Structure 1
């Protein structure tokens, strides 16, 4: 585009429409009054109810009506007095045709009920109708035994009942049919509705889910029938802003009814005179108001063709045997039905055919200029979108006429931008059914399969919906908030993979993790997904994370966080090699359900392993490519409860852990920057230079873009690089997130400067307002917790750009499950001598009094961190014994439990200590490690109500009576670990708001009695 789109059309907001409140008034129950012969014809030969039901099902329509048949007025009255009937259809009675008499009797007793008369047509009937007052009936139709007419009658009545609401709700369109010939409109309506309902099935393909497709059909154009000039004009004036087109006869009544005195058996009957040019007059008046509206004349008088075409109206000959085909072609050509056919304006030849919204988006810039000009100058694009129920875009484009903007290229750009904005808006908050013909760079979240999304998948869908319902997430012009592009392989794909490859035998055996993985990697995924995977590669064009999403993972009550594997694969130009790696990653995630740690975890949570189902999330990895490395500028975990508030922070203001690089670094217990989103300027780790240099991030994780391994490993981090901050400095990824230490000045300065060590302080986003991360995290935390009705933990990642713009991706949300037990006393009032342990910095909330065992690390003078890996093995073995006996214990040890760095603490996984009820980090005079939080490890602690105490006796921050434990006989004792058992249960009490926790000794009387 050579010129910029004018501001009034370049910046727009499309609001989504909901189809759920359309067509709310329905015809559910129909009473047919017919003589026995016609009743027999309907029931046995016509099978009207079966045919109508089948017609509804074929057209994808819901709520087919039920039919009740009677033969007399008396039977009709009895039914109408006992059943809610929505519509009465009166059919021919005896030889004298008393359908009108029956209908009058019904209306006399039930004046508010909808009533339609069906009558066969003959010379005598036509003559009689001329003298009938038909105004008390809704409609009179010509009956030739065609059950399609019944469907059309029902749809016509429902359209009339719903049009006001449906236009007001979303702007549905109307087709106005002006025709007073009963015989003709009885013929044209079934054809018209058949075509419209088929069209609604076609445009339902624009939907993202099956349910949405069903709802979208409610947005089809309505048909309104008018039988006089005045009625037609009144309808047009009321709905002209939503009129798709007008189909009109030529000869019909105008200026109300002219009366002639006439003697008849019934008395003085008004005789209706018809104006031979009423239709032409009507369409001329409409053309004065709308120069673009398609106007069609239909007439049996052939000389009207010349008159119609002379005024630019389209013409259909009623006498033609292919009249319905001719009308259908005009609807396709001028009212936006069917495919959009771009034509050469001179030759009328087809130059391009557009079948869908995405098709239009993909081809808008390649349509020949003269064809584009022809169609946009006649508003055809807006009309085509209206006919397909894409109302937000059609309404927007309708206002941009050729008169207002005479620039073809600008029109192309505006149409393209509007479609992209609409598709993005439609995708947010919706889990679409994956369609390789629709999924592209503007698609968002889709599912393959009909099973469950699993825990993480549900969490992502929930997050996406929260973002959609809170537009202020995107109120900052330099920040975009979204979830990454995602496709979920649902649990039914897992089920069929397991069964078709006969994997349950080895999966449920005692085979090693490596043997299980090897068996899964040898198995085959169905070939039918290859095309879908290639489409996803092309749409994302980035590395892909293959994440577990089991049924139990991240559920409200049993979060299985971090138990199963997550693999990442690089983006490769060789799509078949990328496909091979993706397939391996999916199968490796499936295998992780049956690894030893997973089975131990299932046992600890009283779940059955063979009931677990695994969905797999394929997700765009957030980050940027730096040579052979790929990682985001910021990863983080946000928790809406802060169990370690400092300074002005409050527990309910939450806490975030920020890190450079992939989020696995945080999950693994790496050194992160701790910040409360409500107090971004108060960061303990940056408060003193010595602390900043000692306690900020020095390493980070990145995906190795060149590691194309043939051999997937049980360790899902086999292709994750552990790099130093110096490497990130070389990559140029530290802008806005690092400060510089100057050894000359012995000071730390915000920002990047030559020389000096770089300190990961996130100063640009936390102190200098380069990117509104604190505000966005506040929103994410508050909206997420409000929507979930409980405290939450949210994983996120962000990319920052040099122009101070950026994208925040919310990756996962899960509940923090707190115990509901109430504390009746102030824990600080309990005397020290009654306590085995006291912590002023505890994580967890609630009361427990069923634990008698304590397992503790012997931290005498011989303790050294070099033994921590061996200690972890001993703890795992002891923990297994507790699992076998379904008992719990208090675990006490030095440093940070679960750290991936053995020098910082005991490097256990959650499954190694899953039977612990309280875990204590003991600080030693010669071994000081600050407490950690915000990882999957802590998510599991809080989810199961496990307490996490920090005790630092050397600085009078809590205490524990080691001598009491040493005095008890050992149940088991090794070189580094001791297990003791009290004769009576300990009482564990935790106050999560005040971060106070105590473990009370059994009462003396209990102990004495036991002795």
Structure 2
């Protein structure tokens, strides 16, 4: 197992109870080259073996519902041979260069990788693989030895490519080898190298294997895509309602290729599902449900032999198989299920809610059981990527879940052992919260952008308030790459400019946290963004939201720190110096003799604390 799958001790301790010699032979038979199959492939195989092994604690016999796509492996030694054959060993030293040099050099390095050639023997193996696959669409996925491990997951740092695979044999071969070369080049991308630097992995000789899989899905006209795709977390990291139970898990699901579930797409939304209460949304009104739903579907265009995005109304119709499980009807004042087909339903009236899938199939109990079982055996929270096949049956359809990836969450990502310190001197405490606290730690906050809620409420001119939003947008770009948080009146992003600064996602996407300060005014406390569509933007961007209630008994809010610290706004935006009385930029190390802000939040205890910390 060590030479073929993984030599990580944490992985082996789990895998030895699930893999057998026949599994290893099957992997070897589907492997091109020598060496390991990489972390992503190993994680998928282990998850599948765990899920399918009978377990007394399982509520459902998962073996009959769960599978993996047809899969092949390009082992890590092929990467080594490719670099040697094409004289690319010099690129190994890139990881030790400065940020500016890495960004400057990468286009040339990528071009050199794309110009590289594989030996004839490897090309013939690729031809044989494509002949076996036939004309089925495929995906070429990174599977480095650093991916999906127990310490640093490298999620999203390396590239993957969908290939429709509809050309001539030589065209398909060229598309496959180009995709593999692109994945190899992504090892040296700035994002990947910066992440390795942050994780202290510069000296590790990264080895890239490749995972080649048939795309699970069905053909609909000229398009090919899965019925449902998504990502699931065994612990819900986003509690937007007190009814939600974190331990029951969380999903983001879409119609079509899973790119829209894994990566946030501008102006489009996946369906967020808290598995303890799957029909409980972050938004409630019919207008918001329609507005913040999926509008485009990522598909493989078999005729054009390309990947594309298509408006949802061009895909869905009353003839689309299982449409009643995916869509609801927008009646203007309310959203209703599709009770009957054959009435000439207008696709433009349909909204992708997935309500009947969540309510009237086995999908929710299946996903809860899968996620709980994987967490139980990994002994830590996990996330998975998956697709769903709907098999028509009466009175309810059957489902087949295809596991694509399983990733154990590191303590940095999940912070399961977060402990909010109780011995911080009061003069080093900056703020605290005991209201709907998320889970996690934000380290080394260097800058705080602060809009004073009391001052904001006293600004008479809405044009001044709108200008504050523009200043924040400029600071968001100016501070890119820095650890900064935003603090201001609840609620950020509100359409009612009296309640908060009217920013959009595009104005705040570089921030690590968005903190809403709800102060009492005329005896009333304004509502913060929990439960609104703006919160969904934060969730999908990994920007931790936190609500502060300074007037609540027992809460900490160090007002002198915010009001008396020197304002660095003129340093960053001298042309907006006149707005310094309304918006402050606090350089935390500069005003605290080298300390940074550290924010620790434990959702289980509903307690959060921001305090000054010497690193």
**TM-score in same-fold range (> 0.5):** yes
CA distance, structure 1, for counterparts of residue 108 and residue 324 of structure 2: 46
In the alignment, is the contact (CA less than 8 A) between 2:234 and 2:381 conserved in 1?
A: yes
Could you tell me which residue of structure 1 aligns to residue 271 of structure 2?
673
In the alignment, is the contact (CA less than 8 A) between 2:326 and 2:357 conserved in 1?
A: no
Per the TM alignment, residue 635 of structure 1 is displaced from its structure 2 partner at its CA by 1.3
Distance verdict in 2 for CA 1:648–1:979, change over 3 Å: closer
Does the alignment pair 1:815 with 2:405?
Answer: no
CA distance, structure 2, for counterparts of residue 790 and residue 925 of structure 1: 32
Of 602, 608, 615, the residue aligned with 1:991 is 602
Could you tell me which residue of structure 1 aligns to residue 579 of structure 2?
none
Per the TM alignment, residue 675 of structure 1 is displaced from its structure 2 partner at its CA by 1.9
1:665-686 Cα offsets, whole Å, 9 max, x none, are: 1222242222233433x32257
Per the TM alignment, residue 591 of structure 1 is displaced from its structure 2 partner at its CA by 0.4
Could you tell me which residue of structure 1 aligns to residue 386 of structure 2?
796
Could you tell me which residue of structure 2 aligns to residue 582 of structure 1?
176
In the alignment, is the contact (CA less than 8 A) between 2:145 and 2:206 conserved in 1?
A: yes
Could you tell me which residue of structure 2 aligns to residue 603 of structure 1?
197
Does the alignment pair 1:486 with 2:81?
Answer: no
Could you tell me which residue of structure 2 aligns to residue 951 of structure 1?
547
Could you tell me which residue of structure 1 aligns to residue 580 of structure 2?
none
Query: Secondary structure at the residue paired with 1:546?
Result: strand
Query: Secondary structure at the residue paired with 1:458?
Result: helix
CA distance, structure 1, for counterparts of residue 470 and residue 383 of structure 2: 33
Q: What does 1:948-987 align with in structure 2 at a 5 Å threshold?
A: 948-951=544-547, 964-965=561-562, 967-970=564-567, 972-974=571-573, 978=585, 980-981=587-588, 982-983=591-592, 984-987=595-598
Could you tell me which residue of structure 2 aligns to residue 765 of structure 1?
357
CA distance, structure 2, for counterparts of residue 210 and residue 563 of structure 1: 23
Could you tell me which residue of structure 1 aligns to residue 228 of structure 2?
634
In the alignment, is the contact (CA less than 8 A) between 1:703 and 1:720 conserved in 2?
A: yes
CA distance, structure 2, for counterparts of residue 871 and residue 930 of structure 1: 21
Does the alignment pair 1:660 with 2:252?
Answer: no
Aligned residues: 524
Per the TM alignment, residue 494 of structure 1 is displaced from its structure 2 partner at its CA by 0.8
CA distance, structure 2, for counterparts of residue 428 and residue 758 of structure 1: 48
Of 98, 105, 114, the residue aligned with 1:521 is 114
In the alignment, is the contact (CA less than 8 A) between 1:738 and 1:760 conserved in 2?
A: yes
Query: Secondary structure at the residue paired with 1:684?
Result: coil
Distance verdict in 2 for CA 1:845–1:595, change over 3 Å: closer
Per the TM alignment, residue 545 of structure 1 is displaced from its structure 2 partner at its CA by 1.1
Does the alignment pair 1:722 with 2:309?
Answer: yes
Does the alignment pair 1:904 with 2:505?
Answer: yes
Per the TM alignment, residue 864 of structure 1 is displaced from its structure 2 partner at its CA by 7.8
CA distance, structure 1, for counterparts of residue 178 and residue 544 of structure 2: 38
Does the alignment pair 1:692 with 2:289?
Answer: yes
Could you tell me which residue of structure 2 aligns to residue 929 of structure 1?
534
CA distance, structure 2, for counterparts of residue 968 and residue 921 of structure 1: 19
In the alignment, is the contact (CA less than 8 A) between 1:516 and 1:595 conserved in 2?
A: no
In the alignment, is the contact (CA less than 8 A) between 1:931 and 1:950 conserved in 2?
A: no
CA distance, structure 1, for counterparts of residue 416 and residue 333 of structure 2: 53
CA distance, structure 1, for counterparts of residue 448 and residue 600 of structure 2: 18
Does the alignment pair 1:1000 with 2:586?
Answer: no
CA distance, structure 1, for counterparts of residue 28 and residue 92 of structure 2: 29
Query: Secondary structure at the residue paired with 2:176?
Result: helix
Distance verdict in 2 for CA 1:489–1:644, change over 3 Å: same
Distance verdict in 2 for CA 1:991–1:746, change over 3 Å: closer
Per the TM alignment, residue 728 of structure 1 is displaced from its structure 2 partner at its CA by 2.1
In the alignment, is the contact (CA less than 8 A) between 1:921 and 1:931 conserved in 2?
A: no
Could you tell me which residue of structure 2 aligns to residue 460 of structure 1?
44
TM-score between both structures, scaled by the size of structure 2: 0.73
Per the TM alignment, residue 458 of structure 1 is displaced from its structure 2 partner at its CA by 1.5
Does the alignment pair 1:566 with 2:185?
Answer: no
Could you tell me which residue of structure 2 aligns to residue 214 of structure 1?
none
Distance verdict in 2 for CA 1:608–1:954, change over 3 Å: same
Could you tell me which residue of structure 2 aligns to residue 324 of structure 1?
none
Could you tell me which residue of structure 2 aligns to residue 556 of structure 1?
150
Larger RCO, structure (CA 8 Å, separation 6 or more): 2
Per the TM alignment, residue 528 of structure 1 is displaced from its structure 2 partner at its CA by 1.7
Per the TM alignment, residue 798 of structure 1 is displaced from its structure 2 partner at its CA by 1.0
CA distance, structure 2, for counterparts of residue 433 and residue 998 of structure 1: 48
Q: What does 1:234-253 align with in structure 2 at a 5 Å threshold?
A: none
Query: Secondary structure at the residue paired with 2:367?
Result: helix
Per the TM alignment, residue 572 of structure 1 is displaced from its structure 2 partner at its CA by 1.1
Could you tell me which residue of structure 2 aligns to residue 735 of structure 1?
323
In the alignment, is the contact (CA less than 8 A) between 2:473 and 2:506 conserved in 1?
A: no
CA distance, structure 1, for counterparts of residue 262 and residue 187 of structure 2: 19
In the alignment, is the contact (CA less than 8 A) between 2:43 and 2:406 conserved in 1?
A: yes
Of 769, 783, 795, the residue aligned with 2:373 is 783
Query: Secondary structure at the residue paired with 2:360?
Result: coil
Per the TM alignment, residue 780 of structure 1 is displaced from its structure 2 partner at its CA by 1.1
CA distance, structure 2, for counterparts of residue 960 and residue 668 of structure 1: 35
Query: Secondary structure at the residue paired with 1:767?
Result: helix
1:182-222 Cα offsets, whole Å, 9 max, x none, are: xxxxxxxxxxxxxxxxxxxxxxxxxxx999xxxxxxxxxxx
CA distance, structure 2, for counterparts of residue 659 and residue 955 of structure 1: 41
Structure 1 regions of 5+ residues with no counterpart? 1-208, 212-424, 436-445, 709-718, 880-887, 897-901, 939-946, 1007-1011
Does the alignment pair 1:875 with 2:474?
Answer: no
Could you tell me which residue of structure 2 aligns to residue 854 of structure 1?
447
CA distance, structure 1, for counterparts of residue 197 and residue 385 of structure 2: 27
1:863-902 Cα offsets, whole Å, 9 max, x none, are: 58788886554232x53xxxxxxxx665669669xxxxx9
CA distance, structure 1, for counterparts of residue 232 and residue 209 of structure 2: 25
Per the TM alignment, residue 606 of structure 1 is displaced from its structure 2 partner at its CA by 1.7
Query: Secondary structure at the residue paired with 1:737?
Result: helix
Q: What does 1:743-754 align with in structure 2 at a 5 Å threshold?
A: 743=331, 746-750=334-338, 754=345
CA distance, structure 2, for counterparts of residue 613 and residue 500 of structure 1: 16
Could you tell me which residue of structure 2 aligns to residue 122 of structure 1?
none
Could you tell me which residue of structure 2 aligns to residue 534 of structure 1?
127
Does the alignment pair 1:616 with 2:220?
Answer: no
Could you tell me which residue of structure 1 aligns to residue 84 of structure 2?
499
Per the TM alignment, residue 589 of structure 1 is displaced from its structure 2 partner at its CA by 0.6
Structure 2 regions of 5+ residues with no counterpart? 6-18, 95-100, 457-463, 495-502, 518-526, 577-583
CA distance, structure 1, for counterparts of residue 611 and residue 550 of structure 2: 21
Per the TM alignment, residue 607 of structure 1 is displaced from its structure 2 partner at its CA by 1.6
CA distance, structure 2, for counterparts of residue 494 and residue 629 of structure 1: 33
Of 469, 476, 487, the residue aligned with 2:53 is 469
CA distance, structure 2, for counterparts of residue 535 and residue 641 of structure 1: 42
In the alignment, is the contact (CA less than 8 A) between 2:250 and 2:272 conserved in 1?
A: yes
CA RMSD of aligned residues (A): 4.3
Per the TM alignment, residue 960 of structure 1 is displaced from its structure 2 partner at its CA by 7.5
1:556-593 Cα offsets, whole Å, 9 max, x none, are: 01111011111111121512111101100000011011
In the alignment, is the contact (CA less than 8 A) between 2:149 and 2:408 conserved in 1?
A: yes
Does the alignment pair 1:650 with 2:250?
Answer: no
CA distance, structure 2, for counterparts of residue 533 and residue 808 of structure 1: 28
Distance verdict in 2 for CA 1:454–1:426, change over 3 Å: closer
Query: Secondary structure at the residue paired with 1:582?
Result: helix
Could you tell me which residue of structure 2 aligns to residue 294 of structure 1?
none
